[in-house]
Amino acid sequence: MSKGTLFDKVWDLHTVGTLPSGQTQLFIGLHLIHEVTSPQAFAMLRERNLKVLFADRTVATVDHIVPTENQARPFADALAEEMMQALEKNTQDYGIRFYNVGSGNQGIVHVIAPEQGLTQPGMTIACGDSHTSTHGAFGAIAFGIGTSQVRDVLASQTLALAKLKVRKIEINGELPHGVFAKDVILHIIRQLGVKGGVGYAYEFAGTTFEAMNMEERMTVCNMSIEGGARCGYINPDETTFNYLKDRDFAPQGEAWDKAVSWWSSIHSDTDAEYDDVVKFDAADIEPTVTWGITPGQGLGISETVPVAENLAESDRAIAQEAYKYMQLTPGQPIKGTKIDVCFIGSCTNGRISDLREAAKVAQGHHVASGVKAFVVPGSERVKQAAEAEGLNKIFEQAGFEWREPGCSMCLAMNPDKLEGDQMSASSSNRNFKGRQGSSTGRTLLMSPAMVVAAAVKGQVSDVRELF
Amino acid sequence: MSEVKALSGKAIAVMGDDIDTDRIIPARYLRCVTFDGLGEHAFADDRIQSNGEHPFDNPDRQGASILVTNNNFGCGSSREHAPQALSKWGIKAVIGQSFAEIFFGNCVAIGVPCVIASPEEVKQLQALIDENPQTEITVDLSNMEVTSENFSIPVQMNEGSRQMFLNGTWDNCGQLVNNAESVKVTATKLPYVNWQTA
């Protein structure tokens, strides 16, 4: 059992008590809600005549269903409009802070909470969305929950949970040119598998993560869940504190100094004990692309689609399923695979530094003919910052569409969708069958810079050859 | 709230590892403010792709209530819509080799037990229900076994969740709310609660 890790410390501090089932009743410091997984939770509150216990510890925004072209109300999609109205009413009825479209603060829930300084080290954070693991980048314990649990947090500010084991994933060394945080997490998932993390919290440690900025750390923690780990975190350090300083909800003045001192104290001890430790070398990581239907089916850009016989027996059936669905042949190079649609955005890679990296590659190039390419900033603030830097102009001149913020084609709940069996190069997090809105649509996950390379060449390409 | 000790019914197998919640209920069906009506869309895209050959479209499997799956069932998105869709289709319990964590928890929260059996025994069970679609299967949480006529395999579930089903406390919202005073005490001890409110 782990001892002295950040996870242990934060877990203990937030423990209200032990329930008759043996589970821990855990206090949730920050609860984030959105339009998709909260309406039924509010309906349950009303049914049971329950109140919201700490209304000021829940923050709402709208992200999954918002159109990224025409945002005029009512939305063209009547179902989306109904969800929007439900969130507007629920947040008003229960006195919950709500960042609506046009407020200047709206965006993907996992983008807006960090950028406003709501996400802080040492907190427990829950949201009805599996990518809540993103917030672990700050040294918070953050995880996705279902709608009944959204109800539980609203009504009690707590959850009933069993404690997770802790696996330390240590990576040291400098990332090679053209290799980004996205490649690091795709590499980890490829090595440990999509169910390797079930029952674990992942602690990402080592000089590779220490050298990352906060947005890169968010990319890594974001995809912990794709490796089966419900939460992933990185110990807070100067990079974390510098990012938080002077953000809207960061402590000020004397409180800031106290905060830094407390945040430093929750760092995993040097002699902390882990349930498992694995190590990788940064130098071994290539620009990575998925070829299949799970985020674990990844390849270095120079590699070929694996032959089933060469895989572990447990990976063969899903590989066979993937060849058929993806229309790829074992042994073929992944580089050169023709691309129809390119998507840059999502809670994984829709932040300002992602757009800067993508723009750097896009500058001076043009999207290949026949390719549809679009950029969806992660939030209204990201959009504003990008426009202030002129990134939108670079993208537009390169032939990318520049859209309004939201989750967009990561999961295609809004009008942005693949059609038929289109192949997409996507900076998002899931390549599941049907994920991007068409039941035969195909997704290749990669870093934003690699998406731009694919857009420019019209095929999966090695970004290192472009810049 | 009702105790869940044993559940019986016809079984239905959906084969394959890593069946994610986007496949169980595609995102476009999440455009709703209630869980009503999700049942008919369970596995919607997989069913389109299999041209009527999907188990959920098989006439022999209609009315089945015990779902048999393989590894890492329910991975991906935390959407409770997935277990809700299965439940509204008629599924009352799930047997599998392993389950994704959030999916498992969402199932507990709505009173649908997920039990784990060994790969060999899941295979045996799949063969049994393949040969005899009308066979009644029982998931017995008191004895932690799955049984049918002349068939019995041991199954597992973590003890805490099992007790919640047996005692009828799987919906623990009330329990959590009743501890509100202790919750407030815990909150006062957390430094950030004092310096930061949203």
Q: Is A75 left (phi over 0), alpha (psi -120 to 50) or beta?
A: beta
Mean pLDDT over the full length of chain B = 95
Chosen from B4, B195, B197 to mutate, greatest number of chain A CBs within 10 A: B195
What's the token pair of residue A386? Answer: 């990008």
Chain B positions in Cβ-Cβ contact with residue A225 (cut-off 8 Å): 76, 102
Is the Cβ pair B18, A294 closer than 8 Å?
yes
Option in B16, B192, B198 nearest A321 (CB): B16
What average pLDDT does this structure show over A438-466? Answer: 97
At A357-411, the pLDDT tens digits run 999 999 999 999 999 999 999 999 999 999 999 999 999 999 999 999 999 999 9
Q: Evaluate if pTM is beyond 0.95.
A: yes
Cβ atoms of residues B97 and B118 within 8 Å: yes
- Using the predicted structure, report yes or no on whether residue B197 has a pLDDT greater than 80: no
At B28-38, the pLDDT tens digits run 999 999 999 99
Q: So what's the ipTM on this one? A: 0.96
The fraction of chain A above a pLDDT of 90, given in percent, is 99
- Using the predicted structure, report yes or no on whether residue A240 has a pLDDT greater than 70: yes
For residue A326, what are the contacts with CB-CB under 8 A and spacing of at least 6? Answer: A291, A292, A293, A442
At A416-433, the pLDDT tens digits run 999 999 999 999 999 999
Torsion of CA B82, B169, A155, A45, to 10 degrees: 60
Cβ atoms of residues B144 and B154 within 8 Å: yes
Same fold, A165-234+264-284 and A288-465: no
Chain A positions in Cβ-Cβ contact with residue B44 (cut-off 8 Å): 439
Q: How many CB pairs under 8 A join A and B?
A: 232
- What is the reported pLDDT for B195? 77
Residue A327 identity (one-letter amino acid): Q
CA A439 – CA A293 distance, rounded (Å)? 12
State whether residue A413 is helix, strand or coil. coil
Q: What is the CA radius of gyration of chain A?
A: 21
- Using the predicted structure, report yes or no on whether residue B72 has a pLDDT greater than 90: yes
Task: Using CA coordinates, name the residue in chain B closest to A417.
Answer: B28
Is the Cβ pair A53, B18 closer than 8 Å?
no
The fraction of chain A above a pLDDT of 70, given in percent, is 100
Select the CATH number that applies to the domain covering A165-234+264-284 from these four: 3.30.70.360, 3.40.1120.10, 3.30.70.120, 3.40.1060.10: 3.40.1060.10
CA A59 – CA B40 distance, rounded (Å)? 33
Question: What is the assigned CATH class of domain A288-465?
Answer: alpha beta
- Using the predicted structure, report yes or no on whether residue A157 has a pLDDT greater than 60: yes
Chosen from A42, A148, A153 to mutate, greatest number of chain B CBs within 10 A: A148
CATH topology of domain A6-161: Aconitase; domain 3 (3.30.499)
- What is the reported pLDDT for A467? 78
Task: Using CA coordinates, name the residue in chain A closest to B185.
Answer: A16
- Using the predicted structure, report yes or no on whether residue B198 has a pLDDT greater than 80: no
Closest approach of B125 to chain A, Cα-based (Å): 19
What average pLDDT does this structure show over A315-323? Answer: 97
Task: Using CA coordinates, name the residue in chain B closest to A39.
Answer: B33
Give the rounded distance of the alpha carbon of A255 from its chain centre.
30
Chain B positions in Cβ-Cβ contact with residue A143 (cut-off 8 Å): 102
Domains in chain B, start-ordered, CATH in brackets? 6-169 (3.20.19.10)
Task: Using CA coordinates, name the residue in chain A closest to B169.
Answer: A21
Task: Using CA coordinates, name the residue in chain B closest to A229.
Answer: B101
For residue A18, what are the contacts with CB-CB under 8 A and spacing of at least 6? Answer: A24, A25
CA A142 – CA A125 distance, rounded (Å)? 4
Chosen from B17, B18, B110 to mutate, greatest number of chain A CBs within 10 A: B18
A407 marked among binding-site residues: yes
Is the Cβ pair A130, B78 closer than 8 Å?
yes
- What is the reported pLDDT for B1? 66
What average pLDDT does this structure show over A93-119? Answer: 98
| All structural domains of chain A with their residue ranges | 6-161, 165-234+264-284, 288-465
Option in B22, B169, B186 nearest A27 (CB): B186
